Amino acid sequence: MKAKNEIHCSFCGKDKSTTQVLVAGINAHICDSCIKQAQTIVDEELSDQFRKSLARNLTLLHPPEIKAFLDKYVIGQEEAKKIISVAVYNHYKRLIHLSKKDDSIEIEKSNIIMVGQTGTGKTLLARTIARMLNVPFCIADATVLTEAGYVGEDVESVLTRLLQAANYDVAAAERGIVYIDEIDKIARKGDNPSITRDVSGEGVQQGLLKILENTIVNVPPQGGRKHPEQKMIPVNTQNILFICGGAFDGIEKIIARRVQRQTIGYTSATESQVDMENLMQYISPADLKSYGLIPELIGRLPVITHLNPLDRDALRKILTEPKNALIEQYIKLFEMEDIHLEFDEEVLDFIVDKAIEFKLGARGLRSICESIMLEQMYNIPAVKKNKGLKITLEYAVSQLDKSRIKRLRVA
């Protein structure tokens, strides 16, 4: 009994009777109070090491440098590229600001929403940004999200993908960038707030509010549905930049009604200046609200940008000019088989004309190319004997006529 009374904490000297827990080591003991204090010291030390590492390893790329990188892969969309470049640049500056522990002014993040027709390059912009960033980046799809308790995925699964991209390093994930694609697919089904459940629309938007704002979210490590017995990972979203994108099919009609309002007996002076071919450039938060996004979500996405429809010149450049141009991809595929592939200039013009006719944007270019190249790619052994292949206009027209894609022709 006397030996037990002499047992005390080797760090603070407290007797065993005055502590809740006294952990015994080989030649020493430590009490619960010292354990908590040691844990605090370890957390602060690791946090300081992370900040120093962040400031040392983070290369601050200026907006012109970021845009120059985007120019290698994305044709056109100058305004959208500038806005994305500035947003990423400011995100980097916020990280460096945090690493210096300057508490005088807190710099808030500016989440972005991109609006543009299908095939104009929204997802391509996000994927291209991911190539150059040295912060965790992930792309999530809003179409699979549903309200909690229903078949689908919880909104927290968006952050699960970010954690996976950061190799489950929570500190790194809390300074990452998330791109949420197809944000328009969770618009509520009516103009007014729903009085019933809208499990894949308004309910998801309300669920997204908490992760877009500065809050701590309990994230399931493997995604999917949460359940009480599952171990959660707390993630602070204060420094996570969110970029959302969507086609918002039909929003042009909403914009048209707004910009073409007339006064009685007279026409507004600005109406004659409205470009009816590209109404997306007049997008406003009011249009997004009319489309079905709730005001609270729009308020958490303060930067709105649009992507212009692709004209003939842009589609022509997409075929040949970017670093991963579509024609270059086919040339590389045949080069792997020791086959030299060539395209006549008339063929490229023909592909662009058909893409405009089918109104599928840049994605339509690949569909048309696949239809033209299908037979040659199928008969690779026979083509290898010739060591070369040239695609002519006559051949391209005949192959496209045989394919089912011609049924997409718009009257």
Residue 23 inside a domain? The answer is yes
Span 28-81, pLDDT tens digits: 888 998 998 888 888 777 666 655 655 555 667 889 999 999 999 998 899 999
Residues 279 and 388 occupy one common structural domain: no
Residue 206 inside a domain? The answer is yes
Helix (H, G, I), strand (E, B) or coil at 217: strand
Residues 180 and 241 occupy one common structural domain: yes
Span 261-301, pLDDT tens digits: 544 445 544 445 777 778 888 899 999 999 989 999 999 99
Residues 165 and 223 occupy one common structural domain: yes
Residues 156 and 296 occupy one common structural domain: yes
> Rounded to the nearest 5 degrees, what angle is found at the Cα of 111, between the Cα atoms of 109 and 116?
155
pLDDT over threshold 50, residue 221: yes
Span 162-201, pLDDT tens digits: 999 888 888 888 888 899 999 998 888 765 665 566 677 8
C-alpha to C-alpha distance for 192 and 279, rounded to whole angstroms: 24
Residues 38 and 135 occupy one common structural domain: no
The helix (run of H) or strand (run of E) holding residue 125 is helix 122-132
What average pLDDT does range 338-358 have in this prediction?
90
Residue 53 inside a domain? The answer is no
Residues 201 and 278 occupy one common structural domain: yes
Residues 100 and 120 occupy one common structural domain: yes
C-alpha to C-alpha distance for 283 and 280, rounded to whole angstroms: 5
C-alpha to C-alpha distance for 32 and 40, rounded to whole angstroms: 13
Mean pLDDT is highest, among 119-133, 217-231, 263-277, for 119-133
Residues 249 and 340 occupy one common structural domain: no
Domain boundary among 307, 324, 351: 307
Residue 326 inside a domain? The answer is yes
pLDDT over threshold 70, residue 102: no
Residues 75 and 18 occupy one common structural domain: no
Number of structural domains in the chain = 3
The pairing of strands 137-141 and 303-307 is: unpaired
Residue 337 structural domain: 312-408
Residues 15 and 125 occupy one common structural domain: no
Count CA atoms within 13 Å of residue 375 on its CB side. 11
Residues 270 and 386 occupy one common structural domain: no
* pTM for the model: 0.76
Span 128-152, pLDDT tens digits: 888 887 788 899 999 888 877 677 7
Residues 318 and 195 occupy one common structural domain: no
Residue 52 inside a domain? The answer is no
Alpha-helical regions (H) of 213-311:
251-259, 285-291, 295-299
The pairing of strands 22-24 and 137-141 is: unpaired
Residue 352: band (very low, low, confident or very high) from pLDDT cuts 50, 70, 90:
very high
C-alpha to C-alpha distance for 359 and 353, rounded to whole angstroms: 10
Query: What's 94's domain CATH number?
Result: 3.40.50.300
Kindly report the number of other CB atoms within 10 A of residue 25's CB atom: 8
